Structure 1
């Protein structure tokens, strides 16, 4: 595996476009005996995924908000930097929502895999996963964690600037007024001017923008505007 990781680093260090980077990741997955790759950037409401999973699975994952129960995501947040996972292991643990998750994943031949989880700052994570239709995927013990971390950093350098195949923030809903006020605020209009334009009180505008900021988990109103713009809510 280390040799394959080094080859991947060499490949991704070239000035590749996004399509070539995806092709390199697909080839890497195949060369290491897996069917799929997935890169997840876990960054609160800005979380997104890039993968060669079947499109129908990607859409189902977002629609049903599987990020809330996906055991790979849970373990990536709180577990070791390198780990294996499988549907069989989930069934032994007995959590009903996780079992249902894998029943759906099984329809797309996603049954086991290995994942590399790299922290970014205090809360964010870069997670690179290899998945297959085999019942169990064993992780080679000779994987060097430093090499693995460097490889994931290169994956991020090639895919982190993309919008991703799927935004994982589908659970966030802004009301029409929240979205409208935040959109004008993000474009540089003051709250007083927004109130005048929409013929509502200044207090109402501030309340709508603060509510949107809380929903987005942003540190302040400006950051909320930036996040909402990036994930297409305004």
Structure 2
């Protein structure tokens, strides 16, 4: 079904980005993994090839406009027209309220999570328009786009901005046959969450998650497969929240009675 598609995935050396690259490869896409973690990225691209997929890794800083343009030009020239782009690169600098957060930390998170998505989306959109490709651009957002966290001002702000960026990109690209959507995961196991959360934090997050567990990255990849495929041909400008019921919950999950 996806044979012949070429997918570019940022932040693909691990976590959700890697899971999406692996899923797309299994679905028959040729995948271009990009990340700053070159050793891990090369290793994961090789693993996809050894499993029978078509994959290539190209190191790139998605917040560097010149580097991203060079990346897109290289893929278009050496592989073919990009039909799917997933902006999954993201960082978090949590732990402090906004009034104790440095401008440097705040700016760094926005540069990667929001400005990076703009840079990648713009370069890919221009390439799609030039080639007449009717493709799909997907941002990885978060429930943090609409649920504030006192000690994550930069992260939440970046994801909130990403929601509106998704909408305005979708409006601009609709006439070109390109759909733009976002995925808003709830608590999801990834290297970033495992490094950032201790058990009390995990328990607290689960108290707000009706399904009662963290998502696996592969579950988010399934949503990305839907958004890239023909079943989502009339879906654009949306953020699909795969959150285990988190946004639907007003209070906390009640304990099950014995």
Q: TM-score, normalised by structure 1?
A: 0.28
Structure with the bigger RCO (C-alpha within 8 Å, sep 6+) is 1
The TM-score, its normalising length taken from structure 2, stands at 0.26
Q: Higher Cα Rg: structure 1 or 2?
A: 1
